Structure 1
Amino acid sequence: MPPYPVPLGFVFRSRAKEEKAPAADKALVTDSSETRDPQAPKGRPTPKRSVAQAQRRSVAHTPMTRKDAAKRSRQERRAALDRQRQALASGDERYLPARDKGPVRRFARDFIDSRFNIAEFFLPMAVVILILSMVRVPALQNAALLLWLFVIVLIVVDSAWSGFRLKKRLNERFPDESKRGAVAYALMRSLQMRRLRLPKPQVKRGERP
């Protein structure tokens, strides 16, 4: 028997508590000399401003996957087509197709839209002539043929006169700018019915451009 009784708590005391106690004491004594950002993760020092900006830029410029790039490309193409469609209706120069841009092309459109052109009635007259030619009456078929020749001659003469006048006006209005293809562009527009023309006419008939 030992001379002094040994407490049972000393014998059966958990070693885990003995190991945790010094660690807790060290944690209380240790004092970090670095200040911590309130929003930074616990245990990490506040990052420098240059480092944080670099991290934000790296996140912003993270390369997209092929699927994301294709999706963005489709969205941009759809938006460009919408802008172009609205520009064709309103005449907004910023989003018009390349063939319709520029003051020369705009003047050519206004010149054609401001006058009556025989060529714009070509389609309805062609329908009438086709119907007459299908009738089993020789006199009507001959009349349809003569009418067809007459319409073709009128369109050629009127288009030649319009092209001559337009070229003269373009040389007076834009002496230092390229006018290549402007007359042909205007004559092709004159073949279309006024309500079907794109870009939409911006001047009234008889209004001087």
Structure 2
Amino acid sequence: MPPTSADNDHASTTGKGRPTPSRKEREAARKQPLVPKDRKLAARQAREASKRQRDREYEALKTGDERFLPARDKGPQRRWVRDYVDARHNIGEWFLPFALFGFIGMTLTTTYPVVGLVMVVVLYAGLLVAVVDAFVLARKLRAGLSAKFGEQRVQRGLRRYGLMRAYQLRRLRLPKPQVGRGQFPS
């Protein structure tokens, strides 16, 4: 079909309506001084911007707002791992307080070596139980992530992220837990 006059009119009216800027003009428009005129003002503004960013991230860590979370906590897969770990009763979160009391107990029982030996055995048993619990958690995280997001799409480091969260006391975790115990993610 031959072009009509309407097609020619449309072709002549399209375009951006201005000439393309030359490379020299574009480079000149992008130029900025390496050192600002008022360095103290620029440093103060940079500090204030950094403080606003940190405050926004901290609020997001407390509320769970995905938009402003730090990069290490963003994304649906990390959210799923956090929710799974927070819904579970983790033995690892109680290991550090348990170990602290064990070490204090060992130092107080220097006059009774048998009690100190029992404390060491109890500490090693607690460590073993925490490691077995971490192994079970890692396997469940891997299976759950593969089922939810697909084997090929699972990000690296998510099991380690979940394990590090599982070893923190629940009330000290950041981002704050968004689910209750037993409310596992789908």
The percentage of counterpart residues that share the same residue type is 43
In the other structure, the counterpart of 2:11 is none
Letter aligned with residue 170 of structure 2: R
SS of the counterpart of 2:153? coil
Are residue 133 (structure 1) and residue 106 (structure 2) matched? yes
Deviations 1:134-160 (A, max 9, x none): 212122111101101101110111000
Q: Distance in 2 between matches of 1:179 and 1:205?
A: 25
Which of residues 60, 64, 67 in structure 2 aligns to 1:94?
Answer: 67
Contact 2:81 2:158 in 1 (8 A): yes
Cα distance between partner residues in 2 of 1:64 and 1:102: 40
Is the aligned partner of 1:144 residue 2:119?
A: yes
Q: Say whether the 8 Å CA contact 1:170–1:179 is kept in structure 2.
A: no
Question: How far apart are residue 64 of structure 1 and its match?
Answer: 5.4
Q: Do the aligned residues in 1 keep the contact of 2:145 with 2:154 (CA within 8 Å)? A: no
**Gaps in structure 1 of 5+ consecutive residues:** 1-60
DSSP 3-state at the match of 2:51? helix
TM-score norm. by structure 2 comes to 0.75
- 1-side partners of 2:69 and 2:153: how far apart? 19
CA distance in 2 between partners of 1:98 and 1:116 (Å) = 27
Cα deviation for residue 162 of structure 1 reads: 0.5
Q: Spell out, residue by residue over 1:43-84, the C-alpha distance to the aligned partner (whole angstroms, 9 max, x if none).
A: xxxxxxxxxxxxxxxxxx9x7522222121111111101101
Specify the alignment match of 2:166 in structure 1. 190
Q: For residues 78-106 of structure 1, what are the alpha-carbon distances to aligned partners after superposition, in whole Å with 9 as ceiling and x for unaligned?
A: 11011011000001111111110000111
Task: Show the counterpart of 1:71.
Answer: 44
Stretches of 4+ aligned residues off by more than 3 angstroms: none
Q: Distance in 1 between matches of 2:119 and 2:70?
A: 40
User: Quick one: which amino acid aligns to residue 126 of structure 2?
Assistant: V
- What CA deviation, in whole Å up to 9, does each residue of 1:154-197 have, x standing for no partner? 01110000000011000011115342100000001111100100
**Structural mapping, 1:16-95, within 5 Å:** 65-95=38-68
Q: Which amino acid aligns with 1:130?
A: F
User: When the two structures are superposed, what TM-score results if normalisation uses the length of structure 1?
Assistant: 0.67
Structure 2, unpaired ranges of 5+: 1-31
Report if aligned partners of 2:146, 2:154 keep a CA contact under 8 Å in 1.
Answer: no
How far apart are the structure 2 equivalents of 1:67 and 1:153? 55
SS state at 1:192 partner: coil
Q: Which amino acid aligns with 1:150?
A: A
Q: Aligned residue pairs: how many? A: 148
Q: Which string of whole-angstrom CA distances, capped at 9 and with x for unpartnered residues, describes residues 116-139 of structure 1?
A: 111000111012211221212122
Q: Which residue of 2 aligns with 1:8?
A: none
- The one-letter code sitting in structure 2 at the alignment partner of 1:144 is M
1:113 equivalent to 2:86? Answer: yes
State the AA in 2 paired with 1:117: N
For residues 86 and 97 of structure 2, the distance between their equivalents in structure 1, rounded to whole angstroms, comes to 18
